Structure formats: structure tokens, C-alpha cells
Amino acid sequence: MLFRQLMKCLKQTSFSLSDYNTKRNFFRAVQLQANIPGTFVGSLKSIVGDANVSTADAVRDQHGHDESHHEVHKPDVVVFAESLEHVCKVAKLCNDNKVPLIPFGSGTGLEGGVNALQGGVSLNMSKMNQVVKVNAEDFDCTVQPGVMRIALNAYLRDTGLWFPIDPGADASICGMCATSASGTNAVRYGTMKENVLNLQVVLPDGRVIETAGKGKRSRKTSAGYNLTNLFVGSEGTLGIITEATIKLYGIPEKTIAAVCHFDSVQEAVDTVVQIMQSGISMAKLEFLDDKAIEAFNKYSKFNMKVAHSLFLEFHGPALGLEDQFNTVKELITSNNGSGLQIATDEDERKRLWKARHEMIWACTALLPGSKPYSTDVCVPISTLPKVIVQTKKWIEEANIIGPIVGHVGDGNFHVFFPMMRGDKETYEKVQDLHFKMGFLAMEMNGTCTGEHGIGMGKRKLLEKELGPTGIEVMKEVKKCFDPNGIMNPGKVFF
Ligand SMILES: Cc1cc2c(cc1C)N(C[C@H](O)[C@H](O)[C@H](O)COP(=O)(O)OP(=O)(O)OC[C@H]1O[C@@H](n3cnc4c(N)ncnc43)[C@H](O)[C@@H]1O)c1[nH]c(=O)[nH]c(=O)c1N2
Ligand SMILES: CC(C)C(=O)C(=O)O
Ligand SMILES: [Mn+2]
């Protein structure tokens, strides 16, 4: 009976929200904590030392969730790796005993990537935190998995270089590789996919590979399959990233930030589309709707006009930057934009962007005591006005709080839904909206996630996005790297 129910769930091609929830609960019911052999924890201790193994409830709890709304799933044990050798031996031990292994970067993910759905070992990489090498003359560097984005930029400051990919959160660079993170600067510098030159990866059986070949860091390669980008965005399901070689950039000579406002979403987003179509190389091009500006003002103590707004930033040599700015200014005016204000002063700019990066918390604060549920879709830029206008209509119809904030220069945007724990009615409305947005994005030839990944929250949407054959091929790829299915089980696919 159970088997038949399972097969029915799996075969269904179309689905509704209630099917999805039934399916989720069904899977949850059959998933037990990993059956860890009695001697297993002792073996872990003999590899990494007693002090680097914890079964304490608080530590397991901390490793059983990220910053998302997804419910906590604790690992059975947390291991802190201090070296490549530790990682290889722990992976092999887990593989030999068929125990789930979940890499843990800094736990800032937004789709439940680190949650231990089937228990097992959470492998915390934070103690491997050395910058291995900076090749300033080649604009690249190699880092261990525990190196954090802000620390790396502080380390690089004297070289005049920086790593611009900025998801707002202070995440680990290898965690950012694993989720293919991006954020506000992607419109100019790309995402992690465009910025990783090589990765050192430990496979579940303990073998080590460098995805572009040992020590390789050329800007271009057409040598064989692109294993590097197979691991970028793999969300800990194929192997453990133990080093990343990434591109660096010169700190821009001049930076101008600006803000302007619009009466309608359509005019604001039309302006974005026209700026992008004019070929101007924006560094940041962000949209905040009126509701988001309300939250922004309240949380970060600004006094901005409450209207649909664009936050813009230009990077470049002083020569020519003002011309670019003036062209953008004309486009803003021609779309009835108003209140254009510029910030060239560094402190002012930092305050503006800090407040932008805190929008998830600003929106959460609209409902005291709530937790954030965030969504993330990305569409071809010309379809963006239609998708945002429709999303806003759905939010209004559902009568829920849902400010819209986005990296619209990339066609990517989020809705932040503050949610009270246990508020089933709102949760169902939000789940429904998250599906509708995902489907609409796909209909417009976009994706259900531009930057937060699939994790545990978007597995069903991925099935729709790739279709059965696409999913089947992805599963075959996983099998090739991880035949025992120990790497972060239950993520990306069911
Ligand atoms: C306030 C705020 C704001 C934002 C974001 C988060 C928060 C809290 N994010 C999400 C952010 O990008 C994401 O949190 C990081 O890329 C994940 O890095 P962690 O080190 O925290 O990985 P974390 O520990 O959360 O792990 C994430 C996934 O990667 C895997 N993983 C981690 N380290 C690994 C390793 N060494 N090897 C293999 N797998 C590994 C994990 O198993 C998991 O599946 C985001 N993102 C974005 O793209 N744009 C944005 O604008 C934002 N904004
Ligand atoms: C969902 C959030 C945190 C985000 O990605 C952003 O603020 O851009
Ligand atoms: Mn974002």
C-alpha cells in the first residue's frame, strides 16, 4: 500500500499544492535519522581529534538549519575539519558506512541547504580558513573553504584588488561556490559561475580532484568537460569543496550611487530594461517597491519618499562615468522618474547599501516576532515588468505582507514574506504564491531560482523546470560522483 502510494506520487506529472504537502510529509515520514554504527563517532574522533567532534544538542541544532524558514533537521554529529586529510578520511568513513555527509559553510543559505534531512554528519569547514595564494598580477586568488567574503576583501585591500560578488550575507567563499551565489554586483561582475577558475574537491570516496586540473588558473579553457561549473551550484550533493580559485578585480577608481523614485512599478521596471538595453555597464541596479521602501525607512532610519524606487551604482574610471550617469538620468526622466539623488561620499554609499542588504530583516520587522520566508526568481529582462506587476497583484489579492526587492538589472527579484510560526493560513498562501511565481518565471523562459538554489524548498519546481529527462540526467551525474548517495541526501532532488 505504502509502495503504491509512493509510486503514484512519483509518477504524477502535474501537481497541486496539497499534493506537494502530502508528498513532503510522506517522504518525511519514511526518512529516519541515519543509522550510525556504535563505533562510528569513535572513528570520527580518531580522525579529527575529540575536540573536533560534537554530539551536543545545541551544536547539532545550530548545524540543522540555515537562515531560511525551513524547519530544523539536526545532524547526528558535527565534525570540524582542520585539513584536507581530515576531509578525505571523514568522507571515506561516511561512504564506507553509508552515513549522510552534509558540508556546512557558514549556514547563511536560504533554501535549507545544510538541514540534515536524514541525519548523519555535518562537516563544518570553518577551521580551514587560510588564503592559500594571491596572484595579484593575474587578478586571482586561492582560498580554503572557511575563508569568508568580508575577511577576504579585508585581506586583499592593500593589493588594490577585491572580490566583488556580494550576496549581502557574510558567507564562506566555498559556500558561495556551492550555491552559485551572486547578489547586488552580479549585473556587472557576474555570478560565482563566471568567477571560479578552479576548485579542489573531495569526492565521497575520499579521492581529491581539481576540477580544471592541478594548479590550473587560466582565464579560458576548452579542455574537456566543465567540471568546475558542475560543482558551482551543486549544493554539497556531489563532493566537498576544499579550495576555490577565484577571479579578482581592481577596486574601481570612481563609484557613484544614486536613488530615484517612480509612481508605477511599470515605469520603474521599464527604466531598468531600457538602461540594460542601452548597454551601459551598471555595477548595481536594484528595485525596491513602495512596501519595501516603507520597511527600509523604518528599519534603517532613512526618510526616503515612499514610492517604487531604483538604487543604482556605477563603477569605473572617472573619465566617462559621468557620461554614463547622464544617459541613465535621461532614461529616468523619460519614464517619469523623480527625486534623483546621488551619493559619492563613501560613508553615505555604505549606509545605503548596508540598509539594502538588511532588507530581509527590515521586512521581517514589519511583523514583530516573525521569521522571513524569501523567494527568488529570475527572468529574461524584457519580461521583467510583466512578472513583477503580476506578482504584486497576487500579493495584494492574497492580502499578505510581501515587499518586493530585486537585483532587477539581472531580471532577478525576491519577495520577503514575514511569517509567524504556526500561522498555517498565511503559510499556505505564501507557498501558493511561491509556486505561482516559479511557474510564471518558467513560462517567461526564466528560472525558479536565480541565486538561492534548490535546497529542500524548490525540488518540485526544479522537476518542472528541467522536465523528467533533465532530472534523470542530473540524477545520473550525481550517481557517477556519489554512487552511495551520501552527499547531502534529499537536496536538489527528492
Ligand atoms: C541576509 C542574507 C542575504 C542574502 C543571502 C543570505 C542572507 C542570510 N544570500 C544567500 C547566500 O548566498 C548564501 O547564504 C551563501 O552563498 C551560502 O554560503 P554559506 O557559507 O553560508 O553556505 P551554507 O553553509 O549555508 O551552505 C549552503 C549550501 O552549500 C553547501 N556547502 C557549503 N559549503 C560547502 C563546501 N565547502 N563544499 C560543498 N558544499 C558546501 C551546503 O551543504 C549547503 O547545501 C544571498 N545569496 C545570493 O546569491 N544573493 C543574495 O542577494 C543573497 N542575499
Ligand atoms: C533574499 C535576500 C536575503 C536576498 O537575496 C537579497 O536581499 O537580495
Ligand atoms: Mn538577492
The rounded distance, in Å, linking the Cα atoms of 395 and 355 is 24
Distance 256 CA to ligand 3 centre (A): 21
Per-residue pLDDT, 33 = 61
pLDDT reported for residue 35: 74
Query: Rounded to 5 degrees, what are φ and ψ at 226?
Result: -90, 80
372 touches ligand 1 (CB under 6 Å):
no
Taking a C-beta distance cutoff of 8 angstroms, is the pair 456, 114 a contact? Answer: no
Atom nearest to 235 CA in ligand 1: 44
CA of 452 to the centre of ligand 1 (A): 8
* ipTM, interface predicted TM-score of the complex: 0.99
Please tell me the pTM assigned to this model: 0.93
> Quick one: pLDDT at residue 67?
95
494 residues of the chain, pLDDT tens digit each:
333 433 343 333 333 333 333 333 333 333 336 778 889 999 999 999 999 999 999 999 999 999 999 999 999 999 999 999 999 999 999 999 999 999 999 999 999 999 999 999 999 999 999 999 999 999 999 999 999 999 999 999 999 999 999 999 999 999 999 999 999 999 999 999 999 999 999 999 999 999 999 999 999 999 999 999 999 999 999 999 999 999 999 999 999 999 999 999 999 999 999 999 999 989 999 999 999 999 999 999 999 999 999 999 999 998 889 899 999 999 999 999 999 999 878 999 999 999 999 999 999 999 999 999 999 999 999 999 999 999 999 999 999 999 999 999 999 999 999 999 899 999 999 999 999 999 999 999 999 999 999 999 999 999 999 999 999 999 999 999 999 999 999 999 99
**Ligand 1 center to 36 CA (angstroms):** 27
pLDDT at residue 36, rounded to an integer: 85
Cα–Cα distance for residue pair 285/258, rounded to 1 Å: 10
Q: Would you call 61 helix, strand, or coil by DSSP?
A: helix
Which pairing describes strands 77-80 and 121-124: parallel, antiparallel, or unpaired?
Answer: parallel
Distance CA 78, CA 94 (A): 13
Closest residue to atom 8 of ligand 2, CA basis = 183
Say what the pLDDT of residue 344 is: 77
Which phi-psi region, left, alpha or beta, contains residue 138 (left: φ > 0; alpha: ψ -120 to 50)?
A: alpha
Cα of 406 from ligand 3 centre, angstroms: 6
Which amino acid residue places its CA nearest to atom 45 of ligand 1?
167
Furthest-apart CA atoms within the chain: distance in Å: 72
pLDDT at 301: 97
For ligand 1, whether the C-beta of 66 sits within 6 Å is yes
Q: C-alpha cell of 465?
A: 523546470
Question: CB within 8 A of 488, min separation 6: which ones?
Answer: 100, 101, 102, 103, 113, 235, 236, 237
Among the bound ligands, name the one nearest to the CA of residue 451: 1
